[in-house]
């Protein structure tokens, strides 16, 4: 690689005095201060600023409608259009999960069930949200498109046990997603 | 000394130190946080207030977060006061007090307002009306460096030690410029009593705003001394203000606690209230510094434009409260100057250590010295006539030119060998 020699810029005597640069600095900082007091900070309107600077006042205002499509929030399980749980407990997500946050107890689907041909579903599915790093690998690895990162970000709890999302909670967050794969749907 | 005098002195000490200057410390911390926030397009602390929702009200009473300093103080009180085992205990405990106390002692010579008249008796709004005001302030405030040095040394750890050493070097360097830069001011007023200096500024125009009273040429028969003196006064003001920044270890010169290099500097090993005392010491020094700048250069408690005599005579129910109005004006000026301190902190990046030393020893020291002669020339010009004045100016110009030449020559470095 070519070597680029960077020399210090030659300063003229005005620049060496330094006072002009300080004045320029004052002008810049005061410009920001005045703009932020008038609520005219650049980007304030795009960011739904509360009036001072570009800051949104969090619990009162939320960023939810600004969340991008690719936002990675809490992972959750989804059902298909026939309310069948998509997860077939293959445990790939459990294996891929870098912080080992996912714990699956597989169970068989009894033969009298309409979806008996799917053979397996999770008996229990737990994601420890203290461990989860929101990397999205579970979503990527899932062959059934059963686990998705949704836009929930305020995951709180008063104890460690509260922070473990069980199967019920995961389906509650995930809800229903239609029109993805119809592997098990005979009608389509 | 009778009991009444003693009580008045006690009232002044408690009133001015603990009711006026100490509350300014948390207020300036609050201003620092809010002002820096709006400079950086943020909001700053605006939440802490009275939690009325806990009592069933609809909304909290946040009051722009003005209660934040109290919350900070409470937090620092409640934190664990940890003394590491490797420190020199006696000095380690002494150091925080040594940084706070000198700053608060210097309050006693600052004139806060004109006289307060009670029952026909005039009471000066200054704790000790010393005739050596500025000298007393320099003598006491330079003791602050002992606190910092002792903190650095007694912590028995390398980063605090470097911080303490840096602080010592910095204080010594800027003390000279600080002292020399106000010599022109003292030459002009011929007085070392801060109350008298402010009184003169109230009557005859501020040092940096000589537009009324005897300093205006249309009032004193065409004497332009006060206007000519504006030049050395402005130079003195710049040098003095910058040196005050260095003395208080504020941002462009905060190398003793420079967190990118020295973790936390001299207070790395301190926690809880001991750390808070360093913090308070820094802000108290800032308050005193701006009080001093306002007193010497910006007219102290005077409102200016020749209406101070009228304010001094304001009387309500037989009590001359003009002094209190003047005190409010003084406080407003001090707060405005503190805001300037804060603006500088969030505008100017930190100096490198050699730049700091060069600025102190090579530039400010020489500039202050030349400024003393320039001021003396301006003050003496009406007595000695034009011939001697012009001669003096020529000598001064030659000396200045020689100094600048020496500066340039000494700075010339050998060019690095071409590779």
Q: Give the H/E segment covering residue A127.
A: strand A120-128
Chain A: closest CA distance from residue B59 (Å): 12
Write down the pLDDT at residue B417: 61
Contact A53 B346 (CB under 8 A): no
| Model-level ipTM above the cut of 0.85 | no
Contact B35 A37 (CB under 8 A): no
Report chain B residues whose CB lies below 8 A from the CB of A28. Answer: 347
Contact A37 B38 (CB under 8 A): yes
Spatial distance between the Cα atoms of A39 and A160, rounded to a whole number of angstroms: 41
For A16-53, what is each residue's pLDDT tens digit?
Answer: 778 888 888 889 998 888 888 887 777 777 776 777 77
The answer to whether residue A154 neighbours chain B at the CB level (below 8 Å) is no
CATH (residue range A67-174): 3.30.70.3270
Spatial CA neighbour of B25 closest among B82, B135, B98, B107: B107
Place of tokens 């040594």: B98
Chain A: closest CA distance from residue B342 (Å): 11
Chain A residue closest in CA terms to B44: A52
Write down the pLDDT at residue A177: 79
- The minimal CB distance from A29 to the residues B37, B39, B42 is found for B39
Q: Which residue has the higher pLDDT, A97 or A62?
A: A97
Report chain A residues whose CB lies below 8 A from the CB of B37. Answer: 52-53
Chain A residue closest in CA terms to B408: A13
**Chains A, B: CB contacts under 8 A, how many?**
47
The answer to whether residue A91 neighbours chain B at the CB level (below 8 Å) is no
Write down the pLDDT at residue B365: 87
pLDDT tens, N- to C-terminus, chain B (419 residues):
688 888 888 888 888 888 888 888 888 888 888 888 888 888 888 877 777 777 777 776 777 778 888 888 888 888 888 888 888 888 888 888 888 888 888 888 888 877 777 777 777 777 888 888 888 888 888 888 888 888 888 888 888 888 888 888 888 888 888 888 888 888 888 888 888 888 888 877 787 777 777 777 777 766 777 777 888 888 889 899 988 888 887 777 877 776 677 777 788 888 888 888 888 888 888 888 888 898 888 888 888 776 777 777 777 776 767 778 888 888 888 889 998 888 888 888 888 888 888 888 888 888 888 888 888 888 887 788 888 888 888 888 898 898 888 887 877 666 666 55
The answer to whether residue B41 neighbours chain A at the CB level (below 8 Å) is yes
Q: Are B360 and B170 in contact (CB under 8 A)?
A: yes
Contact A36 B35 (CB under 8 A): no
Write down the pLDDT at residue B203: 78
Chain B: closest CA distance from residue A36 (Å): 6
The answer to whether residue A53 neighbours chain B at the CB level (below 8 Å) is yes
Contact B348 A25 (CB under 8 A): yes
Write down the pLDDT at residue A27: 92
The answer to whether residue B251 neighbours chain A at the CB level (below 8 Å) is no
The answer to whether residue B346 neighbours chain A at the CB level (below 8 Å) is yes
Within the 2-41 window of chain A, which residues sit less than 8 Å (CB to CB) from chain B?
A: 22, 25-26, 28-30, 32-33, 35-37, 41
Place of tokens 């109350």: B195
Give which of A32, A35, A37, A53 to mutate to test B binding, by max B Cβ within 10 Å: A53
For residue A4, the 8-state DSSP code is P
Report chain A residues whose CB lies below 8 A from the CB of B43. Answer: 50, 52-53, 55, 57
The answer to whether residue B189 neighbours chain A at the CB level (below 8 Å) is no
Contact A53 B35 (CB under 8 A): no
Mean pLDDT (chain A, rounded): 84
For A105-136, what is each residue's pLDDT tens digit?
Answer: 998 888 888 888 888 888 899 999 999 999 98
Q: Mean of the pLDDT values across residues A72-83?
A: 86
Chain B: closest CA distance from residue A125 (Å): 39
User: Can you count the helices (H) and strands (E) in chain A?
Assistant: 5, 5
Chain B residue closest in CA terms to A25: B347
Helix axes B133-141, B89-105, angle to 10 degrees: 160
Report chain A residues whose CB lies below 8 A from the CB of B35. Answer: 33
Chain B: closest CA distance from residue A1 (Å): 17
Chain A: closest CA distance from residue B40 (Å): 7
Write down the pLDDT at residue A70: 87
Q: Mean of the pLDDT values across residues A78-104?
A: 88
Report chain A residues whose CB lies below 8 A from the CB of B40. Answer: 32, 53
Contact B347 A26 (CB under 8 A): yes
Give which of B31, B43, B346, B364 to mutate to test A binding, by max A Cβ within 10 Å: B43
pLDDT bin (cut points 50, 70, 90) of residue A92 is: very high
Domain ranges of chain A: 13-59, 67-174
For B246-300, what is each residue's pLDDT tens digit?
Answer: 888 777 787 777 667 777 778 888 888 888 888 888 888 888 888 889 888 888 8
């Amino acid at each position: 690689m070519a070597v680029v020699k960077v020399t210090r810029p030659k300063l003229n005597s005005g620049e060496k005095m330094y006072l002009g640069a300080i004045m320029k600095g004052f002008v810049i900082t005061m410009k920001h201060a005045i703009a932020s007091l008038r609520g005219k900070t650049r980007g304030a309107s795009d960011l739904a600023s509360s009036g001072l600077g570009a800051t949104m006042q969090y619990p009162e205002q939320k960023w939810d409608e600004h969340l991008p499509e690719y936002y990675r929030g809490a992972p959750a399980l989804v059902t298909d259009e026939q309310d069948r749980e998509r997860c077939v407990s293959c445990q790939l997500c459990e294996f891929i999960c870098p912080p080992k946050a996912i714990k699956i107890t597989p169970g068989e689907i009894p033969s009298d069930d309409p979806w008996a041909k799917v053979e397996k579903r999770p008996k229990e599915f737990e994601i420890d949200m203290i461990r989860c790093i929101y990397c999205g690998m579970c979503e990527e690895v899932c062959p059934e498109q059963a686990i998705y990162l949704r836009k929930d970000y305020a995951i709180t709890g008063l104890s460690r046990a509260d922070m473990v999302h069980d199967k019920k909670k995961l389906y509650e967050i995930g809800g229903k997603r239609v029109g993805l794969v119809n592997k098990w749907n005979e009608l389509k | 000394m009778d009991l009444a005098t003693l009580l008045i002195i006690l009232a002044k000490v408690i009133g001015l130190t603990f009711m006026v200057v100490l509350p300014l410390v948390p207020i300036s911390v609050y201003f620092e946080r809010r002002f820096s926030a709006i400079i950086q397009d943020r909001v700053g602390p605006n939440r802490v207030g009275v939690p009325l929702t806990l009592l069933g009200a609809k909304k909290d009473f946040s009051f722009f977060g003005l209660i934040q300093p109290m919350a900070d103080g409470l937090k620092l009180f409640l934190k664990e006061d940890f003394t590491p085992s490797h420190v020199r205990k006696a000095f380690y405990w002494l150091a925080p007090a040594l940084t706070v106390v000198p700053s608060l002692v210097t309050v006693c010579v600052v004139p806060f307002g004109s006289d307060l008249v009670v029952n026909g008796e005039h009471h000066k709004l200054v704790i000790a009306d010393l005739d050596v005001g500025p000298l007393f302030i320099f003598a006491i405030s330079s003791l602050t460096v002992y606190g910092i040095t002792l903190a650095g040394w007694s912590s028995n750890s390398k980063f605090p030690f470097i911080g303490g050493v840096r602080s010592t070097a910095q204080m010594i360097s800027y003390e000279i410029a600080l002292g020399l830069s106000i010599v022109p001011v003292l030459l002009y007023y011929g007085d070392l009593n801060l109350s008298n200096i402010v009184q003169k500024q109230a009557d005859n125009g501020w040092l940096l705003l000589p537009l009324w009273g005897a300093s205006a040429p249309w009032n004193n028969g065409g004497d332009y001394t006060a206007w000519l003196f504006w030049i050395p006064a402005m130079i003195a003001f710049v040098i003095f203000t910058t040196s005050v920044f260095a003395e208080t270890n504020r941002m462009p010169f905060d190398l003793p606690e420079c967190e990118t290099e020295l973790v936390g500097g001299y207070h790395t090993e301190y926690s809880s209230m001991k750390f808070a005392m360093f913090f308070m010491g820094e802000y108290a020094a800032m308050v005193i510094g701006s009080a001093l700048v306002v007193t010497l250069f910006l007219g102290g408690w005077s409102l200016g434009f020749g209406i101070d005599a009228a304010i001094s005579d304001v009387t309500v129910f037989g009590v001359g409260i003009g002094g209190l109005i003047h005190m409010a004006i003084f406080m407003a000026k001090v707060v405005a100057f503190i805001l300037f301190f804060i603006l500088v902190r969030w505008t100017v990046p930190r100096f490198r250590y050699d730049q700091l030393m060069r600025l102190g020893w090579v530039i400010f020291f020489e500039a202050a010295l030349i400024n003393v002669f320039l001021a003396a020339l301006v003050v003496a010009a009406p007595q000695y006539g034009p011939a001697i004045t012009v001669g003096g100016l020529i000598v001064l110009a030659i000396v200045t030119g020689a100094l600048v030449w020496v500066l340039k020559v000494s700075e010339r470095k050998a060019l690095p060998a071409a590779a």
